[in-house]
Amino acid sequence: MNKEIAGTTVEVNEEGYLTDMSQWNEAIAAAIAAEEGVGPLGDGHWKVIRYLREQQAKGAALTIRSMGKSGIVTTKELYDLFPGGPLKKSSKIAGIPKPVGCI
């Protein structure tokens, strides 16, 4: 289904995740972050977002544990940056599909 985010019409699934990574941009990320109660996006957020997009492009499976071992953030920092579902929220903001392990 279509949704307008930051003045751009994008394709999202029923949970609000972008279905086409190429439609993503930083303005869309900031708007989704505001919707999710995260932000304003700082350097720490952007490091996680860029890392998630790189890993998704490689086809890597994303988990909280792999994020904690990434060297990008510790698990605690991930929870601090994206409270209330850090991997779900960071993935949505990054414009990638919801990780398989997330409910």
Active site residue 18: no
Strand partners for 10: 3
Indicate which residue of 10, 50, 102, 103 is catalytic: 102
Residues labelled catalytic: 102
